[in-house]
């Protein structure tokens, strides 16, 4: 496994109805937030001073004696470690015998066998996983299994099993595997990650550097970390418990013995632990598992139909807010749940279901963990008024059938899967687009489409000058068998024109 020497390293193992607006129904926590942002009164109770008996917070307290300092984590490790497994992923790649092999230019003049036949080579990766159900459901990171051809799971005692992929979600970097051990397995129950606090003691269990199962201890360093850059997911638990390559997919355990996170990434200059690790909260894991148990093979996020931006210091000042917090509505899709509920451009979302929103990423996390079919309450600052708005979350509509099709034949798109564009497919791919075209949903490894540089999420607008409006247009165009090809592709909002010779 290669360890990237960049500042941020991914540890590679590491019926909707209109809801009325009601200004008087904001919960006490939201009122406190609004008072903090805008001022108004001294009625809020001051926090107790350190050492005051009122400062006691349930079972949390500092050690009171030397004997307590000498307490051991061993009983907790014995109870949880058997549910943490090793995940071995392998795939076969064709190693080029020449650096020019596969280059369309050289293949045009010298043929496809230029440089000699490609040689197969086995690539392997090692990560960790957590058994979360006695029947054999295992949660790990999506980047651990990658595009593996074979995935094996080894229990803590060394017993190995072939596994199948039940669900994988690239956006959250989570994957669910299943093994059949023929018996009930040790597993770890999920805790409520919203109850976790900065300073809580935690254990990280995994297989760093392939040396074998390892336990490290630390504390929760921070919560709701965003803009980590390892995936589209933006709501991590940060910990100083040592996490290294091989820990990805492993367990972050609370002192209750329950799972509060799946270790996912590290912040490192060398590839090793610098004391800053990130874990996906267990509430996100629970949302994925709920859909798996409902028979889903892909994680479906609810559709809101709104885009948000961060509240800058300048925006906060113009709105009379003491500090920049929340997410401001940038656009609304006509007819969407947000539109029907009464959300407006310029509204500032301060909380969702009483959870403070510090950044737009937090909104999408709260919606994903709520799931389609739930009604959530937004606390807003709307045109100078403080309001609460109920919005029922829906599945994204499929305005036209996806008709997902894999392109075959002798053409640059061979091996690409394409689908008709609808809100559901765009929501699944996390793409914002309005207009005509067909979206690339997948690229088969080693296919011509991959060699020619097409990517999932690309939107085909024109092929050989023909406007593309549906999957049938793509199929008809590539059947022409031309020797030269031109493409217009929308990639991330940028129009790219490409020309190839067959």
Give the integer Cα–Cα distance in Å for 168 and 375: 26
Per residue in 226-284, pLDDT (tens digit) is: 655 555 566 889 998 888 888 889 999 999 999 999 998 766 555 555 668 899 999 99
Per residue in 185-218, pLDDT (tens digit) is: 999 999 999 999 999 999 999 988 777 889 999 9
Contact, 393 vs 304, CB < 8 A? yes
Catalytic residue among 125, 128, 163, 173: 173
Catalytic residue among 242, 248, 264, 336: 248
- pLDDT at residue 483 greater than cutoff 60: yes
Give the integer Cα–Cα distance in Å for 169 and 137: 15
The residue behind tokens 């406190």 is 32
Return mean pLDDT, the chain: 81
Category of 493 on φ-ψ map: left (φ > 0), alpha (ψ -120 to 50) or beta: left
pLDDT of residue 260: 95
Catalytic residue among 125, 128, 143, 172: 143
Contact, 251 vs 188, CB < 8 A? yes
Asked about 231 being catalytic, the answer comes back as no
Give the integer Cα–Cα distance in Å for 264 and 439: 29
DSSP one-letter code for 189? P
Give the integer Cα–Cα distance in Å for 93 and 120: 6
Asked about 173 being catalytic, the answer comes back as yes
Give the integer Cα–Cα distance in Å for 38 and 57: 28
pLDDT of residue 433: 86
Q: How many angstroms from the chain centroid is the CA of residue 133?
A: 21
Asked about 248 being catalytic, the answer comes back as yes
Which range, of 117-121, 154-158, 290-294, averages the lowest pLDDT?
117-121
Give the integer Cα–Cα distance in Å for 175 and 264: 12
Q: Residues 104-113: what's their mean pLDDT?
A: 55
Task: Please name the helix (run of DSSP H) or strand (run of DSSP E) that holds residue 477, with its range, or none.
Answer: helix 471-478
* pTM for this entry: 0.77
Give the long-range contacts of residues 469-475, CB within 8 A, separation 24 or more. 469/436, 469/437, 469/438, 470/400, 470/403, 470/420, 470/438, 471/403, 471/404, 471/405, 471/418, 471/419, 471/420, 471/438, 472/403, 473/438, 474/405, 474/407, 474/413, 474/418, 474/438, 475/405, 475/407
Which range, of 1-15, 94-108, 356-370, 483-497, averages the lowest pLDDT?
1-15
Give the integer Cα–Cα distance in Å for 102 and 95: 11
């Amino acid at each position: 496994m290669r360890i990237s020497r960049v500042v941020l390293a991914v540890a590679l193992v590491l019926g909707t109805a209109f809801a009325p607006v009601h200004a008087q129904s904001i919960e006490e926590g939201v009122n406190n937030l609004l008072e903090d942002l805008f001022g108004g009164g001294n009625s809020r109770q001051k926090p107790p001073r350190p050492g005051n008996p009122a400062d006691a917070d349930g079972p949390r307290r500092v050690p009171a004696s030397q004997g307590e300092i000498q307490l051991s984590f061993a009983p907790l490790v014995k109870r949880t470690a058997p549910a943490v497994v090793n995940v071995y992923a392998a795939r076969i790649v064709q190693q080029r015998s020449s650096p020019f092999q596969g280059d369309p230019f050289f293949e045009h003049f010298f043929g496809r066998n230029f440089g000699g036949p490609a040689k197969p080579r086995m690539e392997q990766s090692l990560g960790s996983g957590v058994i979360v159900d006695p029947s054999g459901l295992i949660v790990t990171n999506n980047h651990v299994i990658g595009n593996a051809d074979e995935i094996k799971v080894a229990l803590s005692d060394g017993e190995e099993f072939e596994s199948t992929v039940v669900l994988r979600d690239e956006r959250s970097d989570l994957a669910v595997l299943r093994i059949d051990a023929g018996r009930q397995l040790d597993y770890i129950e999920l805790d409520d990650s919203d109850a976790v606090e900065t300073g809580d003691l935690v254990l990280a269990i995994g297989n760093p550097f392939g040396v074998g199962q390892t336990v490290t201890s630390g504390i929760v360093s921070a919560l709701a970390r965003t803009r980590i850059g390892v995936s589209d997911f933006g709501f991590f638990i940060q910990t100083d418990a040592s996490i290294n390559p091989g820990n990805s997919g492993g367990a972050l355990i609370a002192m209750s013995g329950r799972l509060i996170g799946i270790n996912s990434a590290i912040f490192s200059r060398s590839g090793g632990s610098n004391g800053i690790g990130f874990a996906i909260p267990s509430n996100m894991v629970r949302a994925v598992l709920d859909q798996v148990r409902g028979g889903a093979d892909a994680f479906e996020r609810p559709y809101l139909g709104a885009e948000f931006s961060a509240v800058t210091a300048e925006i906060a000042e113009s709105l009379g807010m003491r500090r920049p917090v929340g997410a401001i509505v940038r656009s609304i899709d006509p007819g969407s749940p947000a539109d029907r509920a009464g959300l407006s451009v310029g509204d500032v979302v301060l909380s969702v279901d009483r959870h403070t929103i510090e950044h737009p990423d937090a909104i999408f996390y709260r919606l994903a963990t709520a799931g389609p079919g739930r009604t959530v309450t937004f606390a807003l600052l709307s045109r100078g008024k403080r309001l609460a708005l109920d919005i029922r979350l829906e599945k994204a509509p499929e305005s036209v059938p996806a008709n997902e099709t894999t392109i075959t034949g002798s053409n640059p798109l061979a091996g690409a899967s394409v689908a008709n564009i609808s809100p559901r497919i765009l929501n699944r791919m996390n793409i914002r687009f309005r207009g005509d075209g067909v979206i690339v949903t997948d690229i088969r490894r080693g296919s011509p489409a991959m060699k020619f540089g097409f990517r999932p999420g690309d939107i085909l607008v024109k092929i050989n000058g023909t406007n593309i409006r549906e999957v049938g247009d793509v199929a008809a165009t590539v059947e022409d068998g031309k020797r030269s090809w031109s493409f217009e592709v929308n990639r991330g909002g940028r129009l790219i024109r490409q020309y190839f010779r067959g």
